[in-house]
Structure 1
């Protein structure tokens, strides 16, 4: 039995993995990382697998929790070998492990060319071609970060979640719909570019992340929604290394 931790900027998604399946899953606020210790004490996992895109000091915190319990801990990074993927990033050490594991999870689910969208605190849009090469991708602010930036940078715009009306008639709705449209537009543009570079071959699209339910209804491209894609990638990695 192995414990997987996907440490994001807002939440830690965790999952207990055994024989290729999840026995249990959950999430805790990243700021409450101390709550990992009760998980370790409750489940007594054989090993801990970590994908951390938040503060590096959390790795030390985890070591302090797991070492006394003699739990082997493995930290994945953008440089980790995830066969059959080929990392074409200029500096793989700068690649967020969440993006890398999401691509790995996408490949386990789908063959051919795949556009992988993860929308949380930030939104990433990454291209994986048919021969397993990660071509690169973009990072844009997540929906909350977009609306917060406008609230901070202007005198009279609110920072509240509105409705995604077709033609918003108040500022809260205008901000929310604007952030969604900007995100959808970026996805559509990346998809169009990927199609062009793939000689017109079909491109699958995976959408994940906490904002996926808000984006999905406004995305006209066929797509597959997958919850907790980075955590899924950790699970597949554990399966291959057990």
Structure 2
């Protein structure tokens, strides 16, 4: 039998099936896609664990879909005051996004030294950990898609592509001005991250999220971990099972 791990974001859902033997299988798609779990046999899953930042309505819909498809009641995992060597800086840890929490646990378990986690999804989040696993706080910024959609929604007669440009020079058309401008903003974030290295003493930067590779291509020096949230969630549930 298998354990299904799920990272359910606002725009993408990633899953991993972990079996007692053999390499894990992974998949990704949009929430609600009819074929999102088509690669998993209905009777092959006996446990489901989820990290999610979706709305309560979306969470309930996912709960019902999984229970109906696999006949298993899924368990949702949230941020804690302290877990797997990581201590949350929030006074109310339950208000932290579960994806950020599990990404930090995944990163901390891998290197156990001062680090920064950058998650470039619908939002761009940055979280700092010190040499003792203490969360020092973080930042939440609109991600590339949110910034682009804001311009699309609030302006007229502005047409531009959806992909992130790697060119930060002044644009020579409206579309270029938008694409290059968004990349210019992200390059400024990268500059701020580099300046933070000395202040906070971290050398390791873990990068995850749908736009994470574009940040690296723009110049961010970091280690690409596309499944970092699933890694952390897997660590949490394994620790729970062995305690």
Structure 2 equivalent of residue 42 of structure 1? 42
Instruction: Name the residue aligned to 2:185.
Output: 182
Instruction: Choose 113-122 or 42-51, whichever is displaced more.
Output: 42-51
1:97 is displaced (CA, Å) by 0.4
In structure 2, the partner of 1:173 is 176
Give the Cα separation in 2 of the matches to 1:25 and 1:58. Answer: 21
Segment of structure 1 superposing worse, 173-182 or 47-56: 173-182
Give the equivalent residue in structure 1 for 2:166: 164
| Residues 117 and 205, structure 1, Cα contact 8 Å, conserved in 2 | yes
- Provide closer, same or farther for how the CA distance between residues 70 and 152 of structure 1 changes in structure 2, counting only shifts above 3 A: closer
Residue 203 (str. 1) matches residue 203 (str. 2): yes
Q: Which portions of structure 1, spanning 4 or more consecutive aligned residues, are displaced by more than 4 angstroms?
A: 19-22, 34-41, 65-70
Q: Is the 1:180–1:214 Cα contact (8 Å) retained in structure 2?
A: no
Q: 1:17 Cα shift? A: 1.3
1:67 deviation in Å?
A: 4.6
Deviation at 1:60, TM superposition (A): 2.5
Deviation at 1:175, TM superposition (A): 1.7
Instruction: Tell me how many residue pairs correspond in the alignment.
Output: 237
Q: State the TM-score, normalizing by the size of structure 1.
A: 0.85
After superposition, the CA RMSD in angstroms is: 2.6
> Quick check: 1:51–1:97 contact (8 Å CA) kept in 2?
yes
Hey, what's the Cα distance between the residues in 2 that align with 1:212 and 1:46? 32
CA contact (8 A) 1:3 1:17 kept: yes
Consecutive unaligned residues in structure 1, runs of 5 or more:
none
Contact 1:51 1:98 in 2 (8 A): yes
